[in-house]
Amino acid sequence: MEDKNQKKGKPIKRRDFLKGFGGGAMGAAVAPKFLVQEKKTISTKEGNIPVYSKKKISLIVNGKKHTLSVKPRDTLLDVLREKLNLTGPKRICNHGECGGCTVLLDAQPVYSCMFLAVRADGQKITTVEGLAKGGNLHSIQKAFIEKDGYQCGFCTSGFIMSSLALLQRNKKPNLEEIKQAFSGNLCRCGNYFKIYDAVSEAAKKMRGA
Amino acid sequence: MAEKKFNKKKESSPLSYHEEYRDKKTPQPQKTPSPEKERFTLISGYTPRIDGERIVTGKAPFTHDINLRGLLYGKILRSPHACAQIISMDLTKAKNLPGVKAVLQLKKEKVQYVGEQVAAVAAVNEFIAEKALKMIEVEYKTLPFVVTEEEAMKKDSPRVHENSNVQKFSDYSRGDVEKGYQEAHAVLEKTFKTEIEIHHPTETHGSVAKWEGDRLVVWDSTQAIHNVRNGLAKALNIPQSQVKVIKKYMGGGFGSKLGLNDYTMAAAKLAKITHNPVKIILSRKENSLTVGNRPSSIQTLKGGVKKDGTITSLSLINYTSGGIGRGDRCSEPMIDIYRCPHIKVNEYTVYTHTGPSRPTRAPGHVQGTFALESFLDELAAEIDMDPLELRKKNYTTKNEGGTGIPYSSKGLDQCYQIGAQKIGWHRRNKIPGQSNGRFRKGIGMGTQIWWGVGRPETLADVMLHPDGSVEAICGTQDLGTGTRTYMAVIPADTLGLKPQDITVKIGNTSYPWCGASGGSTTTPSVAPAIRDAAVKARDYLKKMAAEKLEIDSKNIGVADRKFFNQNNPNQSITFKELTEDLSREKVFHGEYVGRPSGYAYNTFGAHFAEVEVDTQTGKIKVIKVIAVHEIGRVMNKQTAESQVVGGITQGVSTALFEGRVMDPSIGTVLNPNLIDYKLATSYDSPEIEIHFVDIVDPRINNLGTKGLGEPPRIPIAAAISNAVYNAVGIHVKETPMTPDKVLQTLKEKEA
Ligand code: FES
Ligand code: FES
């Protein structure tokens, strides 16, 4: 699972990962202060340690700041979908296998189903809902419509977010680079061939060509 | 349970296609619609999806996205055993967990596969619901089980149902196959295998149920809202009029969402008990275990051919396994595609203790075509004939399977011609496997037949409002195939409007009846019905315009949001001016009444594939595919092309990657996820070129259009298989053609 996020975004080191987790034996050494402490403790080999149930975090989602209290186990995907009502990111596998939940963390695409919300504290997140500006669709969105880069549309926000990440770092990707950018996205309807077209078209639009 | 109910329904049974679509021999005096004379501006063009913006902005409401006030989350406890007796079940601990609102026992006696539902929980969040599942105490008495076809076929293996695990479910014969073999110059026998596949739609199955008093509203990820409504009403013993099923957007189904599901029933029951809406969304693992699969097949084909390419005899023995459900009839392509006087078929289901099968995009045809078309290339090689010539030699223009009636339209010859030219058929190895080196290229093709007719009695409305706005309404569903868009295109074309002028309403059982979206039936059902309604609306407006313009309504033309005098285009009235004279909204009812008998209605196509085989690693790469289809008049090429692209990608996936793997020791699925169950990815899509033969079926309906859902899914695995044969001189004979099998096959060839 770490590999997947690594490929698509900032490498997550195991140590960081553990730090992000409050509660449980793993968190014992680094029990973060910002967690809301419950009265309960659990006993471990290292003695009694407190159990933390919630943490206050702030997320800057599509340019808007939200302050939320989340459980350590809550994934970024669930927080976006359930608490912020952003239904663009989809839960297709919930295990880092499909890319349906892809969002951008700063400029990096990440699987939000594999990303604990507490780790995103204070960071900028872009979902597919944040692309259109003032009623104008983003070039990528326009290109997906023009080239029919979808069928059922369930994988589409993931593909659009991966496209955005690609086109932000590569203005003129070739076919191999496009395929590579989607190595973490599955489309069961199988519309890859049309999606390649959509991305090339989007690149053209974004270059103003 | 659900499977049984599901099979009883004629319109959703995987085996009913044969009966349902078989065309009637006796001509009846029915009006032929003659759609070939009609000229259109938008139909058959490239119209982007009218709901594209909702999709690309993440706003299209899928069932997963339904969120209601007071929503509870349901989870299902599933059997960990492949076969077991439930001795007792204690729900107390689960019920007492804070946050749990209801716990239900769903199964009392026997479980027959890992993943079968036994109990359900509704709780305030998913986490608590999951936790509660673990607190349900079930005592099982485990029983002997069998999960692989090979084992299940043995005499002394544990029985899945009362009778033997091997049951004949289909046979067919014409002529005398033995006589045919005697007449042949070459006779061959080969066995082909296909693996069980899982549908894996991106949106896992799920429902949200809510009671409003005695009235039940269900949001369901389904291909068939009316089936689900009728199923719920029957199972809950409430009137159909008290059940409403809604499906706005769905993330794929491919045949696995055609009927009422038992988790939907569970959601409805939990919602009733708790007085709160309940949402049950299956996990990816549950999708792998319990909501359908494409049955496997072990097909032994025998065939005889004369030196001139005449096929004299064909026979098929098929063992097909769909778990506790039935296998797929794989013989249809053999029975229907070619002129062959002697055919004999016997098909057997092999029952195992695994999840029940469901129709999977082109049930039986995907497996049958892979075997038949691969086999034909071997027959051709036996007599040194070009495999495409062999197919042309045995071409037929009438239904061979029994009725002998002519096809209303059949453009397969053109599919062959266009495909061969575009792929450069002459480039192929004249003798299969004649090329050398580590990387070997080959070209192959496969033929497709499917039905693609509409369901009679499909209804659709066109509503004109006095302010000039227009609605197109039908109780159908858009699976991502573009139904919504052509429902705007057709009335727009008919009324001289733009697609964006039409508001399309679908996916609600309150709308006019339409059947399940499956079997390539949606377009030939919905399109003619909506056209019928639109023509009525147009004629009504023409009359109004004729009065205003004081001319004969025969001379009225429609275009550019205007009704005009065809003899003097300057004399016109706008659509909006016309509708202003309506005192209220006006509804025009359309219906697709059915097709005239006396003709056979089928879709045809051919795929041509070029592949490269790495003989060192056994990896197959599909380089290019040319797809040519004859589906009558295409409603919207923009979305039709995507359907073909999708069919090809899924077919590549069948040919090279997909297969459910069982653990025979514990009886569970070993790859119930999207990592170990390999699907085609963005790296695996070949270059694709698509052509539609320019034919309008003159009789099938008022637009001359047939369905396209299954056709592009059918011939691709065979085309790849034959291309591999052309490259290396031997068929791999088994899907998925994974590198290990390729290397093994190459070894066999050397030996
Ligand atoms: S839902 Fe996150 S990767 Fe599949
Ligand atoms: S469009 Fe349906 S899964 Fe990609």
Q: Is A111 in the same domain as A154?
A: no
Q: What is the DSSP letter of B600?
A: B
CB B118 within 8 A of CB B105: yes
pLDDT of res. B12: 40
- Using the Cβ of B479 and the Cβ atoms of chain A, whether some distance falls under 8 Å is answered with yes
Residue A27 pLDDT > 60, yes or no? no
DSSP string, chain A: -HHHHHHHSS---HHHHHHH--STGGGGGG--TTEEEEEEEEEETTEEEEEEEEEEEEEEETTEEEEEEE-TT-BHHHIIIIIS---SS--SSSSSSS-TTEEEETTEEEEGGGSBGGGGTT-EEE-GGGS-BTTBPPHHHHHHHHTT--SS-TTHHHHHHHHHHHHHH-SS--HHHHHHHTTT---TT--HHHHHHHHHHHHHHHHT-
Position A26 confidence tier, pLDDT thresholds 50, 70, 90:
very low
CATH of residue A176 = 1.10.150.120
Domain boundary among A130, A155, A176: A130
Q: Are residues B434 and B490 in the same domain?
A: no
Q: Is residue B189 part of a domain?
A: no
Per the domain annotation, does B232 fall within a domain? Answer: yes
Pocket test for ligand 1, best of A80, A81, A98, A182 (most atoms within 8 A of CB): A98
Same domain, B446 and B458: no
Say if residue A87 is in the same domain as residue A152: no
pLDDT for res B5: 38
A94 C-beta closer than 6 A to ligand 1: yes
B200, A153: Cβ pair inside 8 Å?
A: no
| Sequence-distant (≥ 6) Cβ neighbours of residue B166 within 8 angstroms | B152, B153, B319, B348, B349, B350, B351
Q: Are B296 and B130 in contact (CB under 8 A)?
A: no
Residues B222/B255, Cβ–Cβ less than 8 Å: no
pLDDT of the residue at B278 = 98
Backbone φ, ψ for residue B379 (5° rounding): -60, -45
Evaluate whether residue B288 is within a structural domain.
no
SS (H, E, C) B706-725: CCCCCHHHCCHHHHHHHHHH
The closest alpha carbon to A122, from A191, A68, A170, A74, belongs to A68
Residues B589-602 have pLDDT tens digits of 999 999 999 999 99
Do A126 and A143 fall into the same domain? no
Q: Report which bound ligand comes closest to the CA of B200.
A: 2
Across the interface, of B49, B67, B680, the residue whose CB is closest to A190 is B680
Q: Count the alpha carbons within 13 Å of B102 in the hemisphere toward its beta carbon.
A: 21
By the 8 A CB rule, do B667 and B83 touch? yes
Do A31 and A101 share a domain, yes or no?
yes
Q: What angle do CA A63, A67, A71 make, to 5 degrees?
A: 120
Q: What CATH number is attached to the domain comprising B418?
A: 3.30.365.10
d(CA B105, CA B92): 11
Does one domain contain both A119 and A183? no
Span B116-135, pLDDT tens digits: 999 999 999 999 999 999 99
User: Looking at the predicted structure, is the pLDDT value of residue B397 above 60?
Assistant: yes
- Mean pLDDT for the stretch of residues B152-157: 96
What are the tens digits of pLDDT across the range B2-28?
Answer: 333 333 334 344 444 555 666 777 766
Q: What is the CATH number of the domain that holds A18?
A: 3.10.20.30
Let me know if residue B178 belongs to a domain: no
Instruction: Give how far Cα B413 sits from Cα of B333, B388, B418, B447, B641, Å.
Output: 16, 11, 9, 11, 21
* Host domain of residue B308: 293-453+598-750
Same domain for B526 and B557, yes or no, is yes
Judge whether B553 lies within some domain.
Answer: yes
Does B170 reside within a domain? no
| A25 lies in the same domain as A121 | yes
CA distance B205 to B686: 29
Atom of ligand 2 nearest to the CA of A155: 4
Cα(B529)–Cα(A109) distance, rounded to whole angstroms? 45
Q: How many helices (H) and strands (E) does chain B have?
A: 20, 28
Q: For residues B514 and B437, state if they share a domain.
A: no
B241 plus B105 within the same structural domain: yes
Q: Which of B281, B307, B332 is the last residue of a domain?
A: B281
Residues A110 and A151 in one domain: no
The enclosing H or E element of B445 equals: strand B439-450
**CATH, residue B218:** 3.90.1170.50
| Same domain, yes or no: B140 and B267 | yes
Query: What residues contact residue A135 under an 8 Å CB cut-off, 6+ apart?
Result: none
A113 and A28 part of one domain: yes
* A141 pocket-lining for ligand 2 (C-beta < 6 Å): no
Q: Is the pLDDT of residue B403 over 80?
A: yes
Q: Are B150 and B103 in contact (CB under 8 A)?
A: no
- Please tell me if the CB atom of residue A31 comes closer than 6 angstroms to any atom of ligand 1: no
pLDDT given at position B20: 61
Question: Quick one: A166 and A125 in the same domain?
Answer: no
* Among B438, B343, B292, B530, residue whose Cα is nearest residue B746: B438
pLDDT digits (tens, 9 = 90+) for B466-514: 999 999 999 999 999 999 999 999 999 999 999 999 999 999 999 999 9
Residue B212 has pLDDT above 70, yes or no: yes
Our count of domains for chain B comes to: 3
Helix (H, G, I), strand (E, B) or coil at B303: strand
Kindly state whether A131 is in contact with chain B, defined as any CB-CB distance less than 8 angstroms: yes
Q: Say if CB A123 and CB A60 are below 8 A apart.
A: yes
Q: What was the pLDDT predicted at B435?
A: 86
**pLDDT recorded at residue B538:** 98
Residue B160 has pLDDT above 60, yes or no: yes
Which pLDDT score, from 0 to 100, does residue B18 have?
A: 53
Q: Does residue A16 or residue B202 have the better pLDDT?
A: B202
B479 interaction partners in chain A (CB closer than 8 Å): 151-152
Residues B118/B77, Cβ–Cβ less than 8 Å = yes
**Do B429 and B302 reside in the same domain of the chain?**
yes
Q: Last residue of some domain: A106, A130, A154?
A: A130
Q: Look at residue A43 in the predicted model and tell me its pLDDT.
A: 80
What is the C-alpha to C-alpha distance for residues A101 and A153, in angstroms, rounded to an integer? 13
pLDDT number for residue A48: 77
pLDDT for residue B45: 97
A33 shares its domain with A65: yes
For ligand 2, say whether the CB of A151 is within 6 Å of any of its atoms: yes
Query: Residue A11 pLDDT > 90, yes or no?
Result: no
**Same domain, yes or no: A143 and A123:** no
Q: Would you state the pLDDT for residue B1?
A: 35
pLDDT of residue B751: 85
Q: Are residues B116 and B257 in the same domain?
A: yes
Q: Strand pairing partners for A57? A: A68
What's the rounded Cα separation, in Å, for the pair B5 and B259? 9
pLDDT category at A135 given cuts 50, 70, 90 is confident
Q: Report if residue B6 sits inside a domain.
A: no
What backbone phi and psi angles, to 5 degrees, belong to B320? Answer: -130, 135
Please, which pLDDT band fits residue B630 given cuts at 50, 70 and 90?
A: very high
Cβ neighbours of B283 in A, within 8 Å:
94
Question: B374 and B432 share a domain?
Answer: yes
Domain that holds residue A155: 139-207
Lowest mean pLDDT among A42-51, A81-90, B224-233: A42-51
Cα separation of B264 and B282, whole Å? Answer: 11
Task: For residue B30, name the pLDDT band (cuts at 50, 70, 90).
Answer: low
The shortest C-alpha distance from B280 to chain A (Å) reads 14
Mark which of B565, B592, B619 sits at the end of a domain. B592
Give B674 to chain A, closest Cα distance, Å.
6
pLDDT tier, A16 (very low <50, low <70, confident <90, very high otherwise): very low
Domain boundary at B281, B312, B342, which? B281
B681 and B602 assigned to the same domain? yes
Task: Mark which residues 54-113 of A lie under 8 Å from B by CB.
Answer: 73, 81-82, 85-95, 97-98, 100
Question: Nearest by CB to B681, which of A81, A91, A183?
Answer: A183
Using the mean position of ligand 1's atoms as its centre, give its distance from the Cα of residue A81 in Å: 13
| Mean pLDDT for all residues in chain B | 95
Q: Which residues, including other chains, have CB under 8 Å from residue B142's CB and lie 6 or more apart?
A: B81, B83, B84
A191 lines ligand 2 (CB under 6 A): yes
Q: Does B254 share its domain with B314? A: no
Residue nearest to atom 4 of ligand 2 (CA): A187
At A50-109, the pLDDT tens digits run: 666 888 999 999 999 999 999 999 999 999 999 999 999 999 999 999 999 999 999 999
The verdict on a CB contact (< 8 Å) between B673 and A93 is yes
pLDDT band at residue A21 under the 50/70/90 scheme: very low
Q: Which domain-ending residue is among A101, A130, A159? A: A130
Residue B387 exposed, middle or buried by CB count within 10 Å (0-12, 13-18, 19+): buried
* pLDDT at residue B203 tops 90: yes
DSSP symbol at B23: P
Cβ–Cβ under 8 Å, residues B344 and B274: no
pLDDT of residue B31: 67
Mean pLDDT confidence for A149-165: 98
Nearest CB among B56, B250, B653 relative to A156 is that of B56
Q: Return the number of other C-beta atoms located less than 10 Å from residue A41's C-beta.
A: 12
C-alpha closest to that of B295 among B221, B194, B172? B194
Paired with B605 in beta bridges are: B448, B629
- Give B713's contacts in chain A (Cβ within 8 Å): none
pLDDT the model gives residue B32: 66
Number of structural domains in chain A: 2
B223, B86: one domain: yes
pLDDT of residue B15: 41
Ligand 1 neighbour A100 (Cβ under 6 A): yes
Q: What is the whole-number distance in angstroms between the Cα of residue A99 and the centre of ligand 1?
A: 5
Q: What is the pLDDT of residue A29?
A: 40
A149 & A107 share domain: no
